[in-house]
Chains A and B, each alone.
Chain A
Amino acid sequence: MPGVPDVQLSSLYQQLILEHYKKPRNRGALEDKTVEVHMRNPACGDEIKLQMKVEDDIIRDLRFLGDGCSISQASVSMMTSMLKDRPLDDAIALARRFTEMMHGDPEAAKDRSLKDLRALQGVSKFPIRVKCALLGFDALQQAVLQSRTATGDQESAPSEGS
């Protein structure tokens, strides 16, 4: 009902999330990409195309195209804004930490290294929407894997966890 605040809803739809949803960062095509992953959620139709330029295991640039709900699009927007000029290992660490928060880990939810992404912690109370929040990170992990496979650096490929 309009006017009656719903605590769970307002914790889900934090201003920061809505702001990233309406004004997504790094949205668009990346011309000199070295890797591209197209990730879909077949259950609901959300999709994200993540493009990265990776050199010497460093993400030099990354952009995304996508169509989906506020949670999936805000999540990937926040994610891309944190990973420019960061090593692939940092990307994997971020994906793991974020996944822990989505699965309700209270320590992860306090971790300042997650920055804006912490605004998404309310999603963990909506189990059906958790996969929306993780879609961009699934794409990220796949992109990292592909980057390492392409350069023959398979030993440090992330294990399939969580």
Chain B
Amino acid sequence: MSVTHTHAAAPPVPTLDVERIREDFPILAQEVNGHPLAYLDNAATSQKPTAVIDTLRHYYERDNANVHRGLHELSRRATDAYEAARATVAGWIGAPAPSELIFTRGTTEAINLVASSWGEANLAPGDEILLSELEHHSNLIPWQLVAKKTGAVLRYLSLDDDGRLILDDLPGILGGGRVRIVAIAHVSNSLGTINPVAEIARQAREAGALVAVDGAQGAAHHPVDVEKLGADFFAFSAHKMCGPTGIGALWVRGEILERMPPYQGGGEMIDLVGKHESTWAALPHKFEAGTPNIAGAIGMAAAVEYLRTIGPEAILRHEQDLVGYALDALGDSPGVRLFGPPEPSERAGVVSFRMAEAHPHDISTVLDREGIAIRAGHHCAQLVMQRFEVGATARASFYLYNTKEEVDRLVRGLDTVRSIFGGD
């Protein structure tokens, strides 16, 4: 963000009215262990606004029916709402057509779908799948599985000491001519690093490789346009972005999706069924076997509508304000080691750290007693932990409803940790 625009060219990103936003999230107005809840575990899952909760309730109270089957009024309503949700969710990531968006259980299932369906049909022995050390296990294990099945080989982009991908290695790896797909996180869940996906995709495309983006953190914490990113696949989850658990989506570029074989078989995904052969439903239904998570999809769309009223740019800026504030405060806190890029502009709302005196689990337990929820562990990113030679980190992750006052409480909580674990 080094370019200064005039107001006419680009309106300034509005500042969030966090106090008002907090009123939208009923769960935040509670005490935990005698203290106001400070929920700083948003990279694990976000909280849900009343708008989403009400949408789910309304659906189950008035419109619930199966989709694409019934000829009755409720089925029509449910089908309309489900397909409208598809268009809304597709719009959130700038997908060119709603028919290219498949509802899944979440990011994990979405990536498994890509690895199984596209991977098994397209990968041959010696073909390369390029990942990075930054990946969440959900963008790692599906590729390990398909590599074993197909004889493909996994390659990795390394991380520098600040948790950035080392892009200098990319031309060499791509230049080998064997990389068929680059699968990369948009935003790191463990370090918060925003990866230069557009640049990676540009180079991958020139080398003839496809690009699959794990957008679990990206879609929640960063404005997304799959066309600008240059992605061919984009996977994300509702629950990280104010929506329900158990629902997510996979966008696939149309011409690729049309050639992909089915992922699962069952109802919904068929056209004509015979004893030995069947034909498949049109896109995207071919990839949605069985009764889908209808309420979830509708709830996911409600989350998108909610976030849209606030604005993804404003949310990211708010998170980066909090990250900058937290990095300064934690950096001044004795014995704290910070992980990830030092510049807040290079990361979304995630701060990973360790303390000299105490293990991350102990930090988390002490903070929990003060009503502060953080995550401690390997964050499903064991390759990141191995890279930095630690078993675990403590991680505070922010969202649109978090405040600097909550960051202050986090930092003061570390004083409590020190009072217990400090000294000999």
Contact = CB atoms under 8 A, between A and B. Distances in A.
Q: Do A and B come from one complex?
A: yes
Interface of A: 1-2, 6, 8-9, 12-13, 18, 21-22, 43-47, 67-71, 73, 126, 128-129, 132
Nearest to A66: B391
B382 interface: yes
A70 B359 contact: yes
Contacts of A132: 361
Interface string B345-378: 0000000000000111110011001100000111
B369 A44 contact: no
Given A1-B416, A2-B412, A2-B419, A68 B366 contact: no
Contact of B361 (A1, A9, A129): A129
A69 to B, nearest CB: 4
A135 to B, nearest CB: 11
B365 A68 contact: no
A22 B424 contact: yes
11 contacts: A1-B412, A2-B419, A6-B369, A12-B365, A43-B377, A46-B391, A69-B362, A70-B362, A71-B361, A128-B365, A129-B361
Given A46-B391, A47-B391, A70-B421, 11 more contacts: A2-B415, A6-B369, A8-B369, A43-B377, A44-B361, A45-B377, A45-B378, A69-B359, A69-B362, A73-B359, A126-B365
B385 interface: yes
B391 A67 contact: yes
Contacts of A6: 369
A13 B378 CA distance: 23
Given A44-B361, A69-B360, A9 B369 contact: yes
A79 to B, nearest CB: 18
Interface in B398-424: 412, 415-416, 419-421, 424
A18 B420 contact: yes
B241 to A, nearest CB: 25
B392 interface: yes
Contacts of A44: 361, 376-378, 392
A69 B361 contact: yes
A132 B365 CA distance: 12
A73 B378 CA distance: 18
Interface string B171-206: 000000000000000000000000000000000000
Nearest to A73: B359
B328 to A, nearest CB: 21
B359 A68 contact: yes
Given A2-B415, A45-B385, A18 B421 contact: yes
A9 B366 contact: yes
B223 to A, nearest CB: 33
Q: Shortest 7 CB-CB distances between A and B: which pairs?
A: A69-B361, A69-B359, A45-B378, A67-B391, A44-B377, A45-B392, A45-B391
Output the residue of B376, B378, B420 with the most chain A CB within 10 A. B420
B38 to A, nearest CB: 13
B320 to A, nearest CB: 28
Contacts of B424: 22
B89 to A, nearest CB: 31
Interface string B108-141: 0000000000000000000000000000000000
A125 to B, nearest CB: 11
A152 B385 CA distance: 39
A13 B363 CA distance: 12
A9 to B, nearest CB: 5
A129 B361 CA distance: 9
A44 B376 CA distance: 7
A132 B362 CA distance: 11
A3 to B, nearest CB: 8
A7 to B, nearest CB: 10
A44 B377 CA distance: 4
A18 B362 CA distance: 11
Nearest to A18: B421
Contacts of B416: 1-2
Interface string B7-19: 0000000000000
Contacts of A71: 361-362
Nearest to B385: A45
Interface in B37-65: none
